[in-house]
Structure formats: C-alpha cells, structure tokens
Structure 1
Amino acid sequence: MKILHTSDWHLGRCLYGRKRYGEFSAFLDWLARTIEDEKVDALLVAGDVFDTSTPSNRAQELYYRFLCRVGASCCRHVVVIAGNHDSPSFLNAPRELLRALNVYVVGSVTDALDDEVIVLRKNPQISQIDADGVDAIICAVPYLRDRDIRIVEPGETIDDKNRKLVDGIKKHYETVVSLAEQKRYNLCKSAQSADKYIPIIALGHLFTAGGKTVDGDGVRDLYVGSLAHVGGEVFPSSIDYLALGHLHVPQAVGSAEHIRYCGSPIPMGYGEAAQEKKVVLIEFNPQITGMDPDKSTKKEISGNQRNLRITEKTVPCFQQMVRIVGSLDDIHAKLDELKKEKSSAWLEIEYTGSNITGNLREVLDGAIADSTMEIRRIKNRRVMDRVMSTIAENETLDDLDANDVFIRCLETFDVPDEDRQGLTSSYNEIIKSLHEQDVNAE
C-alpha cells in the first residue's frame, strides 16, 4: 500500500497583494500526476487546506476540482483534516457529498471520537469487511482547539495551562488510537486472521518540541504562551506513521522517523524561498511492491509490526522568489544577473547601503523595466532606521502588526519587566481565541 502525505496548502494565500492561483493550480496538477505515476492508494492532507476561514471562490474551485480528479484516479482514499487556518464548519459542510468520491473530511472534534477513526477498505463499495478487506485504519485528528482539550479553571498559571494542554493532546490521541486498535482487533478476529497486520496511521496539526520554523512562514503559535513542548512521547507507540501539518519545514520529530512534517508545498514567504519543498511517500510491504527512489531523498525505517519505507519527493518550484539584500551596487548586480537568466522572479529587496535613497522604488522599477520580474516588496533600511529613531509622526497602523502595537503599549505605560510575561501570555491567549473562532459556524 502506498500513501502520500501532504499538508499546509494554504490555498488563496497572497504574497504582498499578489494572487498566487497559478502556483496553487500548478502544484495540484503536479500532485495529481504524482499520485497517478506512483500509483498512490491513499492521500493524507494534514490541515491548513485554505489560508483563511473564508476562502475565495477561486480557492474553493481549485480544491474541489482536485478532489474530483483524484477521485477518478487510482487513489482509493483521500483523508483531509482541518488545520488552525481552516474553518471546521466550512470544511465539514460538503463531507457527506465528498464521501461519494471516497474523500473523508474531519473538520473538528465531535462528541463521538469514533468519528475520527476511518477504516480504509480495499473495495470502498463493500460494506461488510474483515481484515483481508482493509488497507489501513486512519486516526484523523484535526487541529485541537483549546476548548477541545482543556477546561479553564480560576487562578491557573501559564504553566498550569500548558501542562493541561499537553495532557489534553496526549489523552485525545490515546483515546482515538485505542478505538483504532479495538477496530483492528475486531476485524482480525472476525476473519480469524491473527497474523494479519493492519497499519494504524494518524494525522495531526500541531507544534512539536524542537520543531524548525523560518522567518516569514506565517506559522501562528497554536497554544497559549507559544507552547512548543509536545514531544514524540505524547503519541501512542502503536502508530505506524504519524502525518503532521503546521510546520512548513520538512522534518522528522526528534529521532522518530515515522513521525513527520512534510512541510508546505510552495514557499509561503521569502523566508522559505530557498527551501526545497517536499511531499512524503510511505509504502508498507516494500519488499513485495518495491519502490524506485529515482532522485528523491530515500529513508527506510522499521514500523512497529512490519516494515515501511519513507521517501521524500521534491516538489518543483512553480514560481521563483528571490530576496536581495545589500547596497545599491549589490542590488543592481544581482538584478543584472537575473535578467541574463531571463528570470521571472518575484523580488523582495532590502537596501542596506549607507546613503539615504528616497527614490529607491523608482530606481529599482527602472532597473527591471525590460524584464518579466516583479518587485513585491522594498525595504529601505536606512529610511526605516531614521523613521524609527525619530518616531515619525506619519507612522500608521499599516506599518505595525498586532504584536508591535501591544509592545508599544507596554512601553508607553512603562510596564515593569517582571509584569510583562504574564500580560503578554494573557494577550496571546486572547489573540489565539480570536483566531480559533469559526466565523462560518451557526
């Protein structure tokens, strides 16, 4: 059985106002072809399908068109969970209709945790099955919101909240995986197949301890106090593979190669521009079916009961993004180099020269006038330093984010350093609760 792990599509995301539908469409076309070429049996999408809780019509069109194409391919199953950027009710709304395409959607935690346990049948048309008729059992755990896993109590400290969040995540996975183990036992018992092994594969969307991030990747802190202490030991050992989403850098969790982030498929910002993007191909029983590693990074690990092979497949770059930092001469030299390459890159340029250049935008626009490159952002460091040092009167909220405004408030009211940690944690909790509101729910 072959499974493809992807996540963090963020369909509809813009780059400094520039629509990116061409990139998203090209990625989804590539993904569909990869599924067909590799003869993938199941696709896992580990959250953040869309960039916002109210995606545009174009973003929705890309999503549903892709699902229809995959539904008509060799891929027998698609499992989608919600991430922290997704609206649970929006993702869940068409789930009964999508079941006709063998697409399983889990947007939020329900009272019946059995809803998160999905049995992947070899033949989805047959309702009565035993162990021989099952490919795998999926624990489709969506993004766990604070209210899903923690009861608020008066007088709690930040450490109390963090501990209860970790305990809540651990308990949730233990319960769902236990239900999956019971299903597996019943299936094997009914078929009298004691030696038949059905893999348990879990999904999740969270931030694990030691996880790698990059500047400008848009990853929001998921938990109060920037909690990043969910270690691999939180997850039950009976999970054969855990497909995670949220972090945009492809990586394994600690030394556990079977617990992995595949990362985002396209760069979400210039911090990711030079990063090689991946999807992860997992194969059970590799000694039978084999796999051609071609030019992909190949890693093999041993599962709990049977061997599995993990292959990272590189996603092509669909739109070049280049960040240029330096003096005016440095910038012109890099632009000339890109023009010789006939590049169509989207540029972020940061001027760090010693001279103040007030007409930098005009100069740089002229430098690329005879090319197909686009300047998406210019950072004039010298002008910015002067503005910040003099606290210019023309500074607006557009120049700041919410965190900047909060820090300015602390400074304006001379809040002592010893009080800032508690106030900042409370502020983060409020912001997190705003992000978690499902605006589509009724």
Structure 2
Amino acid sequence: MTVRFFHTSDWHLGQYFYQHSRHYEHAQFLSWLLDQIEQKKPDALLIAGDIFDVINPGSQAQKQLYQFLADAQSRAPHMQTLMIAGNHDSGYRIEQVDPLLEKYQAHAVGVLHRRDDQQLDLERLILPIYNAEQEIVAWCLALPFLRSAEITSSHEHSRNSQDAIAYIHQQLIALAKTKKTANQALILMSHAHMQGGETSDSERPIIIGNEEALSTALFDEVIDYVALGHLHKPQKVQHAHIRYSGSPIPLSFSEVNYKHQIIEVCIEPENDPDQRVKIDSLMIPRCVELYKITGELNEVFERLHTLPQGPIEQLEQRPYVDIEYHTQTPPAPQLRQQFEDALPPDRYRLVRIARVYRNNENDPNLQPSVSLSPPTPQSLFQQLWQQQGYAIDSEVEKDFASLVQEAEALLEQQTEQGSHS
C-alpha cells in the first residue's frame, strides 16, 4: 500500500523579528500550504517540532495554528496532521488541547509519559497513518524533543542522555516492528540535532554540557523515512531518506539564501528497496524579502540606492534590511538617518545596523562594536563573561546553554503546575 505525506517543521509561529511580527509571512505560508494539501491530498502532514516560537505563545499564534488545522481538515478530510514538540515548544501545552485536535484529524506528542511501573509509555509514541479507505498504510514513530531530565534515570541504559536516547530509539523501533506488516511503511519523526547537520545563527543550541549531536546510527534500516526538525536549512543527513525539511521562512539574515520548502514523500513498501521511497521538494514562495548589506560606507550607500523602488503600503509586507558597515573611525552623527534617507521611501524596514572596526587595511580581522539586535541570554552572558576578562570557548557556551535549558524546563513546569492549580 502507498502512503503519501508532507514533511515540514520549525514554523515558529508567533516569532518577532527585531520587534516586527511575522504573522503576515506565516499566514502567506499557511495559505500556500493549504493549496498544496488541497491539490495533492496527502495521507498525512508531519510537523517535526518548533511549531511555536516560545513556550507561551500569544493568542494570535495559537489561533493561527488551530485555524489552519480546521481549514486543512475541510480541504482534505481524510488527512491526519501529526505534530511533535520541539525545544521551543511547551510539550504539555500542545497536548492539553488534544480533544480539540481530534476534531481536525490532528494529534500532538509533546512529552514522554511513564506508566504506573515508571517505564516509558512507548505505545503512545507510535501513531497509525490511514489512507482514504481507512486502511493503516504506515506507522509514525513520534519523538518530541528529548530533555535530559525527562529521559535519564538510574536504569543501566539511561544514566546519561546519549545512552537514554539510544535505548529509547532501540525500544521504540523494536515495538514498531511488532506492529508493522509487509505492506506498511515505518516513518520516524524527531526534533534533534544530528551529526553533520548545517546550522544557522537562529537555532537555539540543544547540544548541552558535554553531549554530542546524535548519530544517524540510531535509525534502524527498517525505517523508510526520517522526518527531522530543529535545523532551519533543508538538508539530507548522510542518507537521502534522513532529512531536515527546514523552516518555511528565513528566521535570521543568515538564512537569506536558504531554499525554503516542504518535502513530499511517497512510500510504496512493496517496491524494490531502491524504488520504494520517492522524495520531492515543494518550494515555498517568499513573500517578504531580507536584504543583508555589508561593506565600506560608500559601498553600503551605493547598494541602498540600487534597491528596488516603489512604496509598499502595509508595513508587515515591507522587506527587512540589515546593514553591517566597515570603518576605521567612529560613526558620523545622524548616520542612521542618512541610511534611512538613502533607502527608497515607504518600502523597507531597517532593522539592524552594525559597525565593524577594521584596525588597518592589512588586518583581516573585523570586530563588531555596535549592534541594534535585541539582547538574548546568550549575548548578555557573552558580554558579561568577556567583561570579566574570560575567553568564550565552545565548552563554556555549551554549559551556559545547559543552564538556560534547565531554567526553561523549570519555568515550563511551574507554568503548567500553575495552570492546573
């Protein structure tokens, strides 16, 4: 039996980009996706985590998701939507609305649950995918973002994160094999950082402490397709069937050249191994451009004057501009206003200006000295750490990322406990 599904991830609904809402851009993407769903009629839509940008998304972002699910169900009534929580999501929050999701043929796996004997409940992580005739054509192994505190224990296979993750994969795949028939596919959906994956500067680090990125050796050969989330660049990881779909819109200026897409997968388990999985990329139109302009001041002004002209009435539809100029001298007064005046009127949003000192013409090292980017925990820590005279290295960054993650997990637990009290 054939199964056809879409793989997407890292929507980050509710994101603010330099204080500007991305609601319009997400709305355009979701409208395009609905058209693809209506045209292709897939059996399932897989959303591999980071559905929202923060663990407590605003009402507008939540409404955007649930309205999409309602519209998708009306366009393709038999399609199931399967979602997992990413490191930006509250797993408890997305599971709380399961009765609502069921009305729209949707299901969310947010956290790992334990049975009465304290063993992980793996059954609830294996989800059937049905075709239009209500036959089970595939099983989806749905693994949300695995936090160390949730998976480690005194069990001999779970004393550290790496061992625990490997053990969960082994047990989950073994259980799935007992369910699978010869004419059904096995799909694994996970939100994780895999070895060899190419990152951007907008992804929150999830390699913590001294842990390493995960190996594709976790995935048994019986798995027909691995649908990954977390990294924003669409990419294969060592094998053609192990893929990140990437984010639907650029979430930072480092992602300007990414070819944003969803992945259409068709699996025919009864075919020969080299012909059973067909993968196509469906390119997502970009509705708002990002321009990153770098160089000496005269070069920057020349580039600004050559940008496309013509006003854009709606602010949310105007392109974003990032300027990084190189100089050996302090900035002139009113420089920002000069940049604004050089831009075509009523068309762009100048969201960031960074000055980079060039010590001398023969010095290839450029040192950023001014940025209008909003502070993050990582940037504030780096600034304070360096002010104390210490050097930032990868181990320090990993340890700090571990502390941030623990704090976020504690905040999430307190939030959930407060909502139940």
CA distance 1:271–1:426, shift in 2 (3 Å): closer
Q: What amino acid is aligned across from residue 263 of structure 2 in structure 1?
A: V
The residue aligned with 1:212 is 198
Q: Does 1:357 align with 2:343?
A: no
Q: What amino acid is aligned across from residue 166 of structure 1 in structure 2?
A: Q
The residue aligned with 2:277 is 308
| 8 Å contact kept, 1:48–1:83 | yes
Post-superposition CA distance 1:151-192 (Å, at most 9, x none): 389xxxxxx99x9322211111221222221122xxx5xxxx
The residue aligned with 1:201 is 187
Correspondences of 1:366-405 after superposition (within 5 Å): 366-368=341-343, 370-382=345-357, 401-405=376-380
The residue aligned with 2:161 is 165
Is the partner of 2:350 in helix, strand or coil?
A: strand
Q: Does 1:19 align with 2:28?
A: no
Is the partner of 2:17 in helix, strand or coil?
A: coil
| 8 Å contact kept, 2:354–2:371 | no
Q: Does 1:285 align with 2:271?
A: no
Q: Distance in 2 between matches of 1:362 and 1:397?
A: 14
Post-superposition CA distance 1:116-171 (Å, at most 9, x none): 111123358x7xxxxxx212111111111111222389xxxxxx99x932221111
CA distance 1:53–1:152, shift in 2 (3 Å): farther
Correspondences of 1:208-247 after superposition (within 5 Å): 208-215=194-201, 218-225=202-209, 227-247=211-231
Q: 1:118 aligns with which of 104, 127, 131?
A: 127
Which stretch has the larger CA shift, 353-362 or 320-329? 353-362
Is the partner of 1:282 in helix, strand or coil?
A: strand
Post-superposition CA distance 1:174-211 (Å, at most 9, x none): 21222221122xxx5xxxxxxx4110111000001111
Q: 1:320 aligns with which of 289, 295, 320?
A: 289
Correspondences of 1:48-87 after superposition (within 5 Å): 48-74=50-76, 75-87=78-90
Gaps of 5+ in 2: 115-120, 313-317, 361-368
The CA deviation at 1:31 is 0.7
Correspondences of 1:145-184 after superposition (within 5 Å): 145-151=147-153, 164-184=160-180
| 8 Å contact kept, 1:47–1:205 | yes
CA distance 1:39–1:430, shift in 2 (3 Å): same
CA distance 1:89–1:303, shift in 2 (3 Å): farther
CA distance 1:436–1:236, shift in 2 (3 Å): farther
Q: Distance in 2 between matches of 1:399 and 1:28?
A: 27
| 8 Å contact kept, 1:324–1:350 | yes
Which stretch has the larger CA shift, 239-248 or 224-233? 224-233
Q: Distance in 2 between matches of 1:327 and 1:219?
A: 29
CA distance 1:423–1:248, shift in 2 (3 Å): closer
Correspondences of 1:102-117 after superposition (within 5 Å): 102-111=105-114, 112-117=121-126
Give the root-mean-square deviation of aligned CA atoms. Answer: 3.3
Gaps of 5+ in 1: 127-132, 154-159, 189-195, 289-301, 386-391
The residue aligned with 2:44 is 42
Q: Distance in 1 between matches of 2:328 and 2:24?
A: 38
Q: Distance in 2 between matches of 1:362 and 1:403?
A: 30
The residue aligned with 2:98 is 95
Correspondences of 1:415-434 after superposition (within 5 Å): 425-434=398-407
The residue aligned with 1:261 is 244
| 8 Å contact kept, 1:210–1:228 | no
Q: What amino acid is aligned across from residue 56 of structure 1 in structure 2?
A: G
Post-superposition CA distance 1:24-82 (Å, at most 9, x none): 00000111111112221210000000000111111111100100011112252110000
Post-superposition CA distance 1:216-243 (Å, at most 9, x none): xx21221323744311101222111110
| 8 Å contact kept, 1:90–1:440 | no
Post-superposition CA distance 1:6-40 (Å, at most 9, x none): 00000011110011110000000111111112221
| 8 Å contact kept, 1:82–1:142 | yes
Q: 1:137 aligns with which of 130, 139, 147?
A: 139
Q: What amino acid is aligned across from residue 214 of structure 1 in structure 2?
A: S
| 8 Å contact kept, 2:5–2:43 | yes
The CA deviation at 1:420 is 7.8
Q: Distance in 2 between matches of 1:397 and 1:278?
A: 30
The CA deviation at 1:413 is 5.5
CA distance 1:426–1:370, shift in 2 (3 Å): closer
TM-score (norm 2): 0.84
The CA deviation at 1:263 is 0.5
TM-score (norm 1): 0.80
CA distance 1:313–1:340, shift in 2 (3 Å): same
CA distance 1:413–1:326, shift in 2 (3 Å): closer
Which stretch has the larger CA shift, 167-176 or 336-345? 336-345
Is the partner of 1:2 in helix, strand or coil?
A: strand
The residue aligned with 2:117 is none
Is the partner of 1:70 in helix, strand or coil?
A: helix
Q: What amino acid is aligned across from residue 409 of structure 2 in structure 1?
A: E
Q: What amino acid is aligned across from residue 355 of structure 2 in structure 1?
A: N
| 8 Å contact kept, 2:353–2:371 | no
Q: Distance in 2 between matches of 1:384 and 1:152?
A: 55
| 8 Å contact kept, 2:353–2:372 | no
Q: Distance in 2 between matches of 1:12 and 1:372?
A: 23
Q: Distance in 2 between matches of 1:123 and 1:375?
A: 49
